[in-house]
Amino acid sequence: MFHKILIANRGEIAVRIIRACKELGIHSVAVYSEADKTCMHARLADESVCIGPAPGNQSYMNIAAIMAAAELTDAEAIHPGYGFLAENAEFADIVIESGLTWIGPTPESMRIMGDKVTAKQKMKKAGVPLVPGSDGAVDHIEDAKRIAKEAGFPIIVKASAGGGGRGMKVVHAMASLPNAFSMCQTEAAAAFGDGTVFIEKFLEEPRHIEVQVLGDTHGNIVHLFERECSMQRNNQKVLEEAPSPFLDAATRKKICAAGVAAAEAVNYVGAGTIEFLMNPDKSFYFIEMNTRIQVEHPVSEWISGVDLIEWQLRVASGEKLAFTQDKIKMKGHAIECRINAEHPFKFTPSPGVIELYHAPGGRSVRVDSHIYTGYTIPPYYDSMIGKVITHARDRKKCIRRMQRAMDELVILGITTNQELHQRLLANPGFQKGEFNIHFLERWLNQMNL
């Protein structure tokens, strides 16, 4: 196991990784921007190094400064967390070429999965179901027209190098295809430096269901079941749960097997997530793989009993997974509510000073956060300031537990989305588990707040 690692991230995920290090007896090095001097991660770590000015591209994405901090502190490995440089294969290359260990998958699997067209071709070979469409790149409008006709409208034109919900255009009729197609190509070239696009049938009422996988360097890959992530606004997840209330045992088995097949196809090492869209008839299709730890990993940890960050560190140091698939049992239900410093219904950011913070507690309530009373939330980064996670024997009890946890949570001085969660948890559609990726936005529009 490592003696010392550097965490190339901030906020709650840096705190989460530092906590895992402390429990494993690993020394942790935090990096922080000039705006994050007082952030919890910089205080909790054994050592902290300032890596530059507030804007992310000058600090948390500043590869030279991060590598200098690693050298200065003699760190043996780098954990990238999520966001920032987590899916940057060049950064992983640099870490490895510098003789350090990259706590994540190989740069090669990151590259394959980072390019949607290449990823889809790999997945097709591995027998993972794909959304009907072009599979490969589409260069000419005549091909686009033919594929759209075969798939049937609506279709979605997507940038191969796209990410974060950008570089996609939904097209409802042949007449608007030529314009949308060339716009998508031009925008992709400008935004991602790669104008390659492809076409998929646009699924109209899907759920977003993803499979958590974990692989070691000895060729073992397991899944930790699925997560239901359909509760989204603007492609941003708001509340996640595991297992999905929509799946029966047979569908679970199929989608989890597809997740493992996807990971095996790229010899995956570490923690990763395979995202699928699922139709109301339970047919499901691969959309992409995230080659990193995700925000919502705690719900999978809770139902499976596997500490994902601990195992990221263990497999990166060369350990074998200590369990086989049949030893991983799904236990109970877990829900995560993302707490954002933003207006609950207008979604405007609300940085500022936290005048009072009181975290919920009690049985089976977990809070992953970097905030504290007196902390000033800087305006430069993501608005997520923490996560509340609850676990219970079944979904109904888990919702009740989350409701009481949300009622206990006190954050004064800034505005948060706490009230959104309180209303959502009380919503009959949510309680019945009857929702898809459009539910939250439709409900917000109806409320007209």
CB 276 → ligand ADP: shortest distance, Å?
10
- Whether residue 413 contacts residue 352, with contact meaning beta carbons closer than 8 Å, is answered with yes
Binding mask 327-356 for ligand ADP (x = CB under 6 A): ------------------------------
Binding mask 376-415 for ligand ADP (x = CB under 6 A): ----------------------------------------
Instruction: Specify the stretch interacting with ligand ADP by CB under 6 A; choose among 38-46, 161-169, 351-359, 426-434.
Output: 161-169
CA-closest candidate to residue 113, choices 97, 98, 128, 94: 128
Among 99, 164, 193, 428, binds ligand ADP (CB under 6 A): 164
Residue carrying structure tokens 């009907």: 132
Q: Which of 208, 227, 401, 421 binds ligand ADP (CB under 6 A)?
A: 208
Residue 401 has phi, psi (to 5 degrees) of -65, -40
Active site residue 292: yes
Q: Which of 292, 314, 366, 401 is catalytic?
A: 292
Q: Among residues 40 and 159, whose Cβ is nearest to ligand ADP?
A: 159
Assess whether the previous peptide bond of 154 is cis (omega < 30° from 0). Answer: yes
Distance in angstroms (rounded) separating the CA atoms of residues 271 and 216: 9
The DSSP code for 422 is H
- Which region among 92-100, 163-171, 238-246, 301-309 touches ligand ADP (by CB under 6 A)? 163-171
Judged by beta carbon, residue 288 or residue 336, the one nearer ligand ADP is 288
165 binds ligand ADP (CB under 6 A): yes
Q: Give the CA diameter of the chain.
A: 62
Stretch that binds ligand ADP, among 26-34, 198-206, 297-305, 365-373 (CB under 6 A): 198-206
Distance, in Å, from the CA atom of 302 to the CA atom of 197, rounded to the nearest integer, reads 38
The residue (of 131 and 269) whose beta carbon lies closer to ligand ADP is 131
Task: Decide: is 202 part of the binding site for ligand ADP (CB under 6 A).
Answer: yes
Residue 268 sits in the site that holds ligand ADP (CB under 6 A): no
| Long-range pairs, 60-66, Cβ under 8 A, ≥24 | 60/8, 60/9, 60/10, 60/31, 60/33, 60/84, 60/85, 61/85, 63/90, 63/91, 63/94, 65/31, 66/6, 66/8, 66/31
Q: Is 242 within 8 Å of 300 (Cβ atoms)? A: yes
Across 420-434, b (16+ Cβ under 10 Å) vs e yields: bbbbbbeeeebeeee
Member of 15, 21, 156, 313 binding ligand ADP (CB under 6 A) = 156
Q: Which residues are catalytic?
A: 292
Q: Which residues bind ligand ADP (CB under 6 A)?
A: 131, 156, 162-166, 200, 202-203, 206, 208, 235, 275, 277, 287-288, 437
